[in-house]
Amino acid sequence: MKIIFTFLLVILLVFSGYHLSFRKFRIPLFARKFYLTGLEFLFLGLLLGPNFLNILDVETLQALSPVTALVLGWIGMLFGFQFEIPNLRRFPGVYFLAAFIESAVTLVIVFSGVYLCLPLVFDISGAMRMVASITVAAAAACTAQTGLALIPTAKNNASQSIIKILRYFSSTDGLVAMLALTPVYVLSLRNADIVDRRLMFGGDDILITLILFTAILTLYSLFLSQRREESELALIIIGMVIFISGFSWVMDFSPLLANFFVGMCLVNLTSEKEKIFNTLVSIEKPVYLLLLIFLGSGWQLHHISGFAAAGAYFAFRFLGKMAGGFSVSRMGGKMGTLPSGLGLGLMGQGGLPLAILYDFYQSMAFDFSGEIIGIALIAIIFSDITSPVLVGRLLRKEG
């Protein structure tokens, strides 16, 4: 009974809050960035979680795990649809290479810093230390466009060129994060008790997974090979995301990653991609708010040292983005005209890192996963709040 009540309560809060969030009101920039991204729902989830009202307790969250798998799957499918090859070819290939290098540099720097410092905060070693470090580094590699939307319109060609590059980076650099997470879920399945289990690359489990992935992709490509009414197409897409997310959840794989790769393949195979994308986008915001509530309910921070750890995580990411932007500006050619401080415009993290963190929290049953989520969330909130100021500083410097 509690599960049904909690589910209905969460749905009510999401659709009620949906009509209030993402609106432009005359409020200070500091509050506007916080409000327009719906981050207040993180604190709503924290209030409903075990730390306060205990409505979304551990048992209830486990019972609602099929719903959370669907939420992660929807986000993964939507992100995968951004990688349509013809659209990527509209930009010079060096843009994609630069975005990949910037994100990869950030991931490596954050991973190195977190991997070295993690034992100072938690009693952790072995494969668990590696998995946690890769996850938070993958979340750090992503960039959001929300900070770019809040700055004044650029009035000179230099600033317009920088904004164009930043928007391209923010839409593509999450690919590095998804590729980095793939071996984590392939070689170490969901349960922490079996993280260290022996699973040879090319073994039966991986071979079966690849065969099933190909079969699912072929099946839905046939479904989408003919033109259909929007209602039929919406039904197919909803069923596809539900099936892939549920199948991934049963098979101890990430629904976020599974739907991402299926979406990336489908957008380049089907002629109905625009209708599918519109269907996915139509409920993007309610799905995002659901993610924030579920993620907030798992937010744990039992020690004041967690704020220091969040500051260190922010510092590692700031260093990574600045180093990545500097590396891009030294590539020469079109990239050589970019400022060395390009990383100032890449500090916002957005929604994909939140999905990565919740996928980690739901998948890896570590004792400290909730506290890692809490540390990362503090750093993400600070990054998202400060990103418009940093972007404005970068553009003013160039202007």
Query: pLDDT higher for 220 or 113?
Result: 113
Domain of 127, CATH number, reads 1.20.1530
Contact (CB, 8 A) for 127 and 188: yes
The pLDDT score that the predictor gives to residue 363 is: 81
Q: How many domains does the chain have?
A: 1
For residue 189, report the phi and psi dihedrals to the nearest 5 degrees. -70, -170
In a domain, 57, yes or no: no
**CB proximity list for 84: less than 8 A, separation 6 or greater:** 267, 268, 273
User: The domain containing residue 130 runs over which residues?
Assistant: 62-397
Query: pLDDT higher for 335 or 136?
Result: 136
- Find the angle CA(276)-CA(95)-CA(101) to the nearest 5 degrees: 105
DSSP state of 20: T
C-alpha distances out from residue 18 to 21, 38, 258, 285, Å: 5, 9, 27, 7
In a domain, 279, yes or no: yes
The pLDDT score that the predictor gives to residue 113 is: 96
Task: Give the lowest-confidence range in 19-33, 76-90, 351-365.
Answer: 19-33
- Find the angle CA(88)-CA(91)-CA(93) to the nearest 5 degrees: 85
The pLDDT score that the predictor gives to residue 195 is: 43
What's the distance, CA 302 to chain centroid?
25
The pLDDT score that the predictor gives to residue 201 is: 40
DSSP state of 25: -
**What does the block give as tokens for 155?**
């009035």
In a domain, 333, yes or no: yes
In a domain, 123, yes or no: yes
Contact (CB, 8 A) for 131 and 117: no
Contact (CB, 8 A) for 272 and 227: yes
What single letter denotes the amino acid at residue 90? R
Q: Using a CB cutoff of 8 Å and minimum separation of 24, what contacts does 333-339 make?
A: 333/94, 334/92, 334/94, 335/94, 335/98, 337/161, 338/162, 338/165, 339/162, 339/394, 339/397, 339/398
Query: pLDDT higher for 210 or 122?
Result: 122
Q: What does the pLDDT look like over 255-273, one tens digit per residue?
A: 999 999 999 998 988 888 8
In a domain, 24, yes or no: no
Binning pLDDT at 50, 70 and 90, where does residue 198 land?
Answer: very low
**What does the block give as tokens for 109?**
């720097």
Binning pLDDT at 50, 70 and 90, where does residue 125 land?
Answer: confident
Binning pLDDT at 50, 70 and 90, where does residue 157 land?
Answer: low
The pLDDT score that the predictor gives to residue 352 is: 92
In a domain, 11, yes or no: no
Query: pLDDT higher for 201 or 386?
Result: 386
The pLDDT score that the predictor gives to residue 229 is: 81
In a domain, 227, yes or no: yes
Q: What average pLDDT does this structure show over 190-204?
A: 42
The pLDDT score that the predictor gives to residue 97 is: 93
Return the number of other C-beta atoms located less than 10 Å from residue 296's C-beta. Answer: 26
In a domain, 214, yes or no: yes
Binning pLDDT at 50, 70 and 90, where does residue 123 land?
Answer: confident
Whole-model pTM: value is 0.90
**CB proximity list for 238: less than 8 A, separation 6 or greater:** 279
